[in-house]
Chain A
Amino acid sequence: MPKRIMFTMGDIACAEGAISAGCRYFGGYPITPATEIAEWMARRMPEVGGAYVQYEDEIASITSVIGASWTGTKAMTATSGPGVSLMMEAVGLAVMTETPLVLVNIMRGGPSTGQPTRGQQGDVMQAKWGSHGDYQIIALTPASVQEMFDETIRAFNLSERYRVPVFLLADETVGHMRERLVIPDEKDIKLEYRKLPTVDPSEYLPFKPDDDLVPPMALLGTKYQFYATGLTHDERGYPSDKEEVQIELITRLNNKILKNADKIVEVEEFMLDDAEIAVIAYGTPSRSAKRAIKDVRQEGIRAGLLRLKTVWPFPERHVVDLATKVKQIIVAEQNLGQIYYMVKAAASPTPVHLMTKPAGMPQLPQEIVQMIREVHSS
Chain B
Amino acid sequence: MAVRLKDMLKREPILSSGHRMCAGCAAPTVVKLMGMALRGPTIVCEATGCLEVATTIYPFTAWKIPWIHVAFENAAAVASGVVEAINAMRDKGRYKDEQVDVIAIGGDGGTFDIGFGALSGALERGHKFVYMVYDNGAYQNTGIQRSGGTFPGQETTTSWAGKVEPGKRQRKKPLAEIVAAHKIPYVATVDPYHYRDFITKFRKALEADGPAFIHAFSPCPRGWRSDTSKSIELAKLAVETGLHPLYEVIDGKEWIMSGPSKRLKELRPVDEYFKTQGQFKHLFKPEWAEFRAWIQEEVLKDWEELKRKCGVS
Contact = CB atoms under 8 A, between A and B. Distances in A.
A55 B148 CA distance: 9
A186 interface: no
Given A42-B159, A46-B164, A52-B158, A82 B145 contact: no
Contacts of A113: 48, 69, 71
B116 interface: yes
Contacts of A28: 158
B167 to A, nearest CB: 11
B165 interface: yes
Contacts of A30: 109, 139, 142-143, 145, 158
A54 B146 contact: yes
Interface in A1-58: 28-32, 35, 38-39, 42-43, 46, 52, 54-58
B63 interface: no
A271 interface: no
30 contacts: A28-B158, A29-B114, A30-B109, A30-B139, A30-B143, A30-B158, A32-B142, A32-B143, A38-B145, A42-B158, A42-B159, A42-B160, A46-B164, A52-B158, A56-B112, A56-B113, A56-B114, A56-B116, A56-B148, A57-B72, A57-B73, A57-B113, A57-B114, A82-B71, A82-B72, A86-B73, A112-B71, A113-B48, A113-B69, A113-B71
Nearest to B71: A82
B157 interface: yes
B68 to A, nearest CB: 12
Given A42-B157, A42-B159, A35 B116 contact: no
Nearest to A57: B114
Contact of B145 (A54, A57, A86, A112): A54
A82 B164 CA distance: 34
Contact of B143 (A39, A52, A54, A55): A39
Nearest to B141: A32
Band of interface residues on B: 20 to 34
Interface string B105-131: 000010011101000000000000000
B69 A39 contact: no
Most chain A Cβ neighbours within 10 Å, of B71, B109, B142, B146: B142
A127 to B, nearest CB: 20
A55 B146 CA distance: 10
A301 B112 CA distance: 59
Given A46-B164, A46-B165, A113-B71, A38 B158 contact: yes
Interface of B: 48, 69, 71-73, 109, 112-114, 116, 139, 142-143, 145-146, 148, 157-160, 164-165
A112 B73 CA distance: 12
A321 B139 CA distance: 49
B171 to A, nearest CB: 15
Contacts of A46: 164-165
Nearest to A40: B157
A259 B139 CA distance: 44
A28 B159 CA distance: 12
A89 to B, nearest CB: 14
B143 A35 contact: yes
A61 to B, nearest CB: 10
B141 to A, nearest CB: 8
Contacts of A35: 142-143, 145, 157
A39 B158 contact: yes
Contacts of B139: 30
Nearest to A112: B71
Of all A-B residue pairs in the complex, the 7 with the closest CB atoms, nearest first, are A57-B114, A56-B113, A30-B145, A30-B142, A42-B158, A39-B157, A30-B139
Nearest to B112: A56
A121 B116 CA distance: 31
Interface in A165-205: none
Contacts of B112: 56
Contacts of A39: 143, 145, 157-158
Interface in A306-320: none
B156 to A, nearest CB: 9
Nearest to A31: B142
Most chain B Cβ neighbours within 10 Å, of A29, A32, A86, A112: A29
A256 B148 CA distance: 41
B214 to A, nearest CB: 21
Nearest to A113: B48
B143 to A, nearest CB: 6
Contacts of A38: 145, 158
B309 to A, nearest CB: 26
Contacts of B145: 30, 35, 38-39, 54
Contacts of A43: 160
B281 to A, nearest CB: 17
Nearest to A55: B113
Nearest to B142: A30
Most chain B Cβ neighbours within 10 Å, of A35, A56, A82: A56
B72 A54 contact: no
Most chain B Cβ neighbours within 10 Å, of A29, A30, A86: A30
Nearest to B150: A54
A31 B113 CA distance: 14
A58 B142 CA distance: 15
B59 to A, nearest CB: 17
